[in-house]
C-alpha cells in the first residue's frame, strides 16, 4: 500500500497517535518504546505508566491490525499532515492559540503588580548554594529536556530540574497552593521564591539572595477531597512561611463569585518555566467548590492564581487540567490545541477563592 491509501481508511489523529506509541514513539525524557515484545512486556508497561499523564489512554495500546501494512515513516507523515490541517500544534490547555506571555511582555501594570504575588514552590534542595550569599535554582533546557520541536514557544528557556508547582501570597507569611503538592511530610522541605522569571528574551532570573528565599514551616489549613465517588474536588492548602515576605504583592481575594463568560488570566510556572501569563474565560460555574475555565495550562500550573481581568482580584486557583501536555509527531513533541474534533477537554478546574477566604 502507498502512503495515500491511509486516507481511505478514515483513521483519526488519535488512532495514529496510539499506533505510533505501540510501534516505538519516544517519551519527552528520551525513553524509547523499543522492546522485543511489541505486544506488551513488564518493562514496556512500566514505561508507559510513567508517562500516562502525557499520553492517553492510561494503558499500553495494542498494535492496530488495520495499520500493519503501513511503515512507521508513512504513519508519521500522515499524522503530521493531519495535525497541520487541523492546526493541532498546541498543548495541555492551549485554547485556540498560544496566549502565554513572559511578564516582561505584559504591558498592563495591574497584571505586572499581581505577578509579584506568584510564588515558585519547589524542594529547597533544588537550590544550589553558590557560596556568595546566593542560591541558584537548578535548571535544564526546556526544549532539550522534553525533546520538543523547535517551533514550540520558550524552547530555549530554562525549566526547574526538580518537582515544582505554583503558589500565591495571600497574607504576609502565608502562601496558598494545591494540596496535592504539599502535605505534612514535605512542608518543611519546601522552598518559596518570588521573581523567577525572564528579565528579557534571553536573561532568566535564577539566582536569589538567601534573604529572598523562604521556607515552609507548617500547614495552617488543608483540604484534599479529590478521590471517591462523593469527592467535592476541593484541593487547596495554606502554608505558613518562616517569616513575612518583603517587597512582594499580597493577592487581593475576591468575595464575588466567578461567572460564565467572565474574562480571567492566570499567572504560573508551566512545566517549571519562568513565570508566565495567560488569559481565558470562565466556561462553567455550577460546582460547589470550583469553576471551569479555558486557559493555557500545563503541569506545574497547579496552585496558579487566577484573577478577574477587570478587577484584578483573585477569584480562583488552578488545581487540575486536561492530563495531556504534548503529542509526538516524529521529530519532536508539540502541544495539542483545543478545541479540536479528535480530543475532548473539559478545561481547567479552578478552586474558588471562597474555599479558603475565611482562613487567609
Q: What is the pLDDT of residue 13?
A: 62
Report the 10 Å Cβ neighbour count for 96: 13
Q: How confident is the model at residue 70 (pLDDT cuts 50, 70, 90)?
A: confident
Domain 120-241: which CATH class? Answer: mainly beta
Query: What percent of the chain is modeled with pLDDT above 90?
Result: 47
Q: Any idea what DSSP says for residue 360? A: -
pLDDT surpasses 90 at 52: no
- Architecture of the domain whose range is 95-99+252-355: Beta Barrel (2.40)
pLDDT surpasses 60 at 265: yes
CA dist 52 and 323 (Å) reads 8
Q: What is the pLDDT of residue 139?
A: 94
Task: Yes or no: say if 347 and 283 are a contact pair by the CB < 8 Å rule.
Answer: yes
CA dist 250 and 267 (Å) reads 14
Q: What share of the chain is helix, strand, coil (3-state, %, to 5)?
A: 20, 35, 45
Q: Any idea what DSSP says for residue 253? A: B
Report the 10 Å Cβ neighbour count for 157: 20
Q: Domain spans of the chain?
A: 3-86, 95-99+252-355, 120-241
Q: Taking residues 292-321, what's their average pLDDT?
A: 90
Task: Yes or no: say if 160 and 104 are a contact pair by the CB < 8 Å rule.
Answer: no
144-196 per-position pLDDT tens digit: 887 787 778 898 999 998 889 999 999 999 999 999 999 999 999 999 999 99
Q: Which helix (H) or strand (E) holds 316?
A: strand 314-320
Q: Is 281 exposed, middle or buried (0-12, 13-18, 19+ CB in 10 A)?
A: middle
pTM: 0.73
Q: What is the pLDDT of residue 97?
A: 57
Q: What is the pLDDT of residue 3?
A: 41
* Helical spans, DSSP H, in the chain: 13-23, 42-50, 72-86, 109-115, 142-145
Q: What is the pLDDT of residue 104?
A: 94
Q: How confident is the model at residue 233 (pLDDT cuts 50, 70, 90)?
A: confident
Mean pLDDT value across the chain: 80
CA dist 204 and 359 (Å) reads 34
The grid coordinates of residue 128 equal 544550589
Q: What is the pLDDT of residue 29?
A: 43
Query: What percent of the chain is modeled with pLDDT above 70?
Result: 71
Domains 95-99+252-355 and 120-241 share a fold: yes
Q: What is the pLDDT of residue 12?
A: 67
Q: How confident is the model at residue 87 (pLDDT cuts 50, 70, 90)?
A: very low
Looking at the chain, how many residues does it have?
360
Task: Yes or no: say if 226 and 233 are a contact pair by the CB < 8 Å rule.
Answer: yes
185-228 per-position pLDDT tens digit: 999 999 999 999 999 999 999 999 999 999 999 999 999 988 77
Amino acid at each position: 500500500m502507498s502512503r495515500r491509501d491511509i486516507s481511505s481508511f478514515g483513521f483519526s489523529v488519535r488512532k495514529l497517535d496510539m499506533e505510533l506509541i505501540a510501534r516505538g514513539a519516544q517519551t519527552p525524557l528520551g525513553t524509547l518504546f523499543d522492546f522485543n515484545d511489541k505486544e506488551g512486556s513488564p518493562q514496556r508497561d512500566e514505561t508507559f505508566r510513567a508517562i500516562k499523564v502525557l499520553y492517553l489512554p492510561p494503558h499500553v495500546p495494542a498494535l492496530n491490525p488495520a495499520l500493519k501494512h503501513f511503515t512507521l515513516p508513512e504513519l508519521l507523515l500522515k499524522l503530521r499532515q493531519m495535525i497541520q490541517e487541523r492546526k493541532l500544534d498546541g498543548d495541555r490547555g492551549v485554547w485556540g492559540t498560544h496566549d502565554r506571555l513572559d511578564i516582561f511582555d505584559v504591558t498592563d501594570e495591574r497584571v505586572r503588580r499581581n505577578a509579584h504575588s506568584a510564588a515558585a514552590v519547589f524542594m529547597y534542595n533544588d537550590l544550589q548554594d553558590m557560596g556568595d550569599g546566593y542560591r541558584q535554582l537548578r535548571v535544564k533546557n526546556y526544549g532539550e529536556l522534553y525533546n520538543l520541536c523547535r517551533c514550540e514557544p520558550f524552547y530555549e528557556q530554562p525549566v526547574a530540574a526538580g518537582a515544582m508547582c505554583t503558589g500565591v501570597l495571600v497574607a504576609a507569611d502565608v502562601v496558598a497552593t494545591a494540596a496535592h503538592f504539599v502535605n505534612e511530610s514535605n512542608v518543611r522541605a519546601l522552598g518559596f521564591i518570588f521573581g523567577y522569571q525572564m528579565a528579557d528574551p534571553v536573561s532568566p532570573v535564577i539566582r536569589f539572595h538567601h534573604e529572598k528565599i523562604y521556607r515552609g514551616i507548617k500547614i495552617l489549613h488543608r483540604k484534599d477531597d479529590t478521590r471517591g465517588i462523593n469527592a467535592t474536588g476541593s484541593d487547596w492548602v495554606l502554608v505558613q512561611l518562616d517569616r513575612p515576605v518583603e517587597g512582594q504583592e499580597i493577592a487581593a481575594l475576591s468575595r464575588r463569585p466567578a461567572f460564565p463568560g467572565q474574562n480571567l488570566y492566570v499567572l504560573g510556572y508551566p512545566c517549571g518555566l519562568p513565570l508566565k501569563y495567560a488569559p481565558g474565560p470562565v466556561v462553567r460555574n455550577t460546582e460547589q467548590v470550583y469553576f471551569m475555565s479555558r486557559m493555557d495550562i500545563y503541569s506545574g500550573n497547579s496552585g496558579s492564581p487566577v484573577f478577574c481581568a477587570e478587577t484584578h482580584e483573585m477569584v480562583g486557583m488552578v488545581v487540575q487540567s486536561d492530563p495531556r501536555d504534548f503529542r509526538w509527531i516524529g521529530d519532536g513533541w508539540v502541544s495539542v490545541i483545543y478545541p479540536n474534533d479528535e480530543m475532548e477537554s473539559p478545561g481547567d478546574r479552578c478552586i474558588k477563592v471562597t474555599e479558603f477566604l475565611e482562613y487567609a
